[in-house]
Amino acid sequence: MTGSLCTDCHTIHNSQGNQPATFDGSPVPYLALLRGSCEGCHTSTSASVWQSSIAGAPIVYNTLEPSYGNKGLAAGNFYYTGTTLDEKGHNIFLSNPDDGLGNTPPGGLDIGQQLNCSGTYGCHGHNGRQSGDTAIDDQLIAVMGGHHGLSSPMTGSIAEVSKSYRFLLGIKGVEDTDWEQDNVNTSHNEYQGSTAGSTDTISYFCAECHGNFHTWEGGITEVGTASPWLRHPTDILLPAAGEYAAYTNYSLLSPVARQSPDLVADTTLVNPGSDTIMCLSCHRAHASPYYKMLRWDYKNSTLSTALSGCNVCHTSKD
């Protein structure tokens, strides 16, 4: 949290010059004296703004197509679900529910109502999906304390929202200082991976809703145990043999997770036989310009472009 003043994020009376002090101009105050909702603090009406100049918050929704990074920060940008097609991201806007899927995530069960940012029906904060956690319906209460807490050391504690990577409860990782706004492989997020069915990995987090797609959650009947797989596996080693051994320079087009993300000696390198495949090797977490939230244009009519992300790992198919 980089905002320097309490009033960057909070308002005492929601009144300044007899006008609302909320970011969206709402006369109705927000909980915890906040000046905005999740969307209110993490949105920009400019295409080039990637960080809030007031609160220092990362921008995850530009109302104009983002012109920075690779069409947004590391998780992508909700512009693509706010203004284009449902299939390009998670549908968190009440004005734009998923017309095809409803409230049922692919590979999972109906979550009961439309997805939102945090809490019972969201991804961040207390959603009750980690063992021992209790879900909280209200989005702001679900992440309460997270913005003020210390993130280091990143323990993945379910008791403190700030101790989990990006407030994803129970998950570990290392956050890039500009959330990959510069889109270079010399500075990027590091994600937790595991080959032992651990519940602190970024892929396990996805599996909390998309369980059938995860090696350990989906299991033998859904994913298989070895090649030939039934579904593309995650939380498995990038093999150190065959075509996979040639993937040694870290690519933001198809990144890998690490078994010890806070101990990576050279973040520009990939280590076949040690690093792992994750859900985010192929997808953006929020939304992307491409089909199924992929990191590249899989439906492009030019084959080399359509397979560009696949070929990062499957080097012999290039």
Phi and psi at 230, nearest 5°, equal: -85, -40
Is it the case that residue 3 has pLDDT exceeding 60?
no
Residue 55: band (very low, low, confident or very high) from pLDDT cuts 50, 70, 90: confident
Chain centroid, CA 230 distance in Å? 25
Confidence grade of residue 1 (pLDDT, cut at 50, 70, 90): low
- In this prediction, residue 173 carries a pLDDT of 96
pLDDT score of 223 more than 70: yes
DSSP string, 85-142: -GGGB----TTS--TTTTT--TTS---SS---SBSTTSSBS--S-STT----SSHHHH
Give the residue, 224 or 85, on which the prediction is more confident: 224
Q: What is the mean pLDDT of residues 237-255?
A: 97
Q: Which of 107, 111, 128 is nearest to 119 (CA)?
A: 128
**Burial class (CB within 10 angstroms; exposed 0-12, middle 13-18, buried 19+) of 292:** middle
pLDDT in tens, 109-118: 999 999 999 9
Q: Which residue has the higher pLDDT, 210 or 87?
A: 210
| Residue 7 tokens, joined | 């009033």
Q: What is the pLDDT of residue 317?
A: 85
Please, what is the end-to-end C-alpha distance for the chain in angstroms? 42
Task: Write phi, then psi, for 9 (nearest 5 degrees).
Answer: -115, -25
Tokens describing residue 6? 């309490």
pLDDT score for 297 = 97
Report the SS3 class of residue 43. strand
- Would you state the pLDDT for residue 84? 64
The pair of structure tokens assigned to 251 is: 């690519």
pLDDT at 149: 86
3-state secondary structure of 121: coil
Tokens of residue 100, six digits: 């095809």
The candidate with the shortest Cα–Cα distance to 173, out of 303, 285, 45, 55, is 285
Reported as a pLDDT band with limits 50, 70 and 90, residue 248 is very high
CB 188 within 8 A of CB 176: yes
Q: For 267-306, write each residue's pLDDT tens digit.
A: 999 999 999 999 999 999 999 999 999 999 999 999 999 9
Residue 314 CA, chain-centre distance (Å), reads 24
Q: What is the pLDDT of residue 315?
A: 95
- pLDDT tens digits along 152-194: 888 999 999 999 999 999 999 999 999 999 999 999 999 999 9
